[in-house]
């Protein structure tokens, strides 16, 4: 079985080695880069299965790398984990907005990073063969096999977490899902308390799937609780 390939961008040598050693001990193949420029050059030849991007770098920063990877058809659906320093709360939110799937705050435990990587691959692999392959609702079509979402004929750019969130909401349409439940299902229990993550992702989903995101027809906010995907069609 081929090993999953991970590109890890980190300029601090000891962290870089720690990431490589521990992920390789868990069966992944890791290629490390010290600069965003080097990574962007290499991925023209090879697309990995996952990117780990540090934000603070000497040249172009990890957010810019993330932006470029997300704007390229070949890498736009490849999961990204961002590494942020504690003081970079702003970068964390920006990273998620740019399409990162997950983030870890430094200093982080390597075991935790390995767990997050495993969780991402579990989700990617499980979305290939489980449940329905095509989900349609209104003018929204979700192709679970290809991990693509269309509004009408238009293919939407959709990072992994947004995709999983939309899928969960649409499969449970008509039911109110609490922020805590969404966090647990999509991000894992270790995100407990960070419910703003859910709100950020819902905001970006609305901008993509709603005709008017200030007057959402698909994803309804249930004040103080969470969100509900409208099942108006079934009434």
Site residues, Ca ion (CB under 5 A): 11, 54, 56
Residue 8 or residue 166: which is nearer to Ca ion going by CB?
A: 8
- Token pair 């069609």 in the structure block, residue: 233
Give the separation between CA 15 and CA 144, rounded to whole angstroms: 35
Residue 18 or residue 168: which is nearer to Ca ion going by CB?
A: 18
CB of 87 to Ca ion, least distance (A): 13
Residue 49 or residue 54: which is nearer to Ca ion going by CB?
A: 54
| CB atoms near residue 78 (< 10 Å) | 20
- Token pair 């000891």 in the structure block, residue: 14
CB of 147 to Ca ion, least distance (A): 30
Specify whether the CB–CB gap between 97 and 67 falls below 8 A.
Answer: no
Residue 16 or residue 77: which is nearer to Ca ion going by CB?
A: 16
CB of 130 to Ca ion, least distance (A): 37
Least Cα distance to 165 among 132, 206, 136 occurs for: 206
- Token pair 């270790």 in the structure block, residue: 190
CB of 197 to Ca ion, least distance (A): 23
Residue 30 or residue 198: which is nearer to Ca ion going by CB?
A: 30
CB of 10 to Ca ion, least distance (A): 6
Helix, strand, coil percentages, rounded to 5, for the chain: 40, 20, 35
Three-class DSSP category at 156: strand
Closest residue to Ca ion using C-beta atoms: 56
């Amino acid at each position: 079985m081929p090993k999953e390939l991970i590109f890890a961008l980190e300029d601090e040598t000891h962290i870089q080695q720690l990431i490589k050693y521990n992920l390789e001990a868990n069966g992944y193949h890791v290629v490390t880069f010290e600069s965003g420029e080097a990574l962007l050059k290499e991925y023209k030849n090879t697309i990995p299965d996952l990117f780990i991007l540090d934000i603070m770098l000497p040249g172009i920063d990890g957010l810019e790398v993330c932006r470029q990877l997300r704007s390229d058809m070949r890498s736009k659906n490849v999961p990204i984990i961002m590494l942020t320093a504690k003081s970079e709360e702003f970068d964390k939110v920006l990273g998620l907005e740019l399409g990162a799937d997950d983030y870890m705050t430094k200093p982080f435990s390597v075991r935790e990073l390995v767990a997050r990587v495993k969780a991402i691959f579990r989700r990617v692999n499980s979305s290939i063969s489980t449940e329905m392959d095509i989900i349609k609702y209104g003018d929204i079509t979700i192709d679970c096999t290809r991990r693509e979402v269309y509004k009408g004929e238009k293919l939407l750019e959709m990072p992994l977490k947004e995709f999983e969130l939309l899928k969960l909401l649409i499969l449970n349409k008509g039911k109110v899902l609490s922020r805590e439940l969404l966090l647990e299902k999509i991000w894992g229990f270790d995100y407990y308390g960070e419910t703003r993550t859910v709100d950020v992702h819902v905001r970006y989903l609305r901008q993509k799937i709603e005709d008017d995101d200030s007057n959402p027809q698909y994803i309804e906010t249930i004040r103080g609780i969470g969100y509900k995907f409208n099942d108006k069609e079934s009434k």
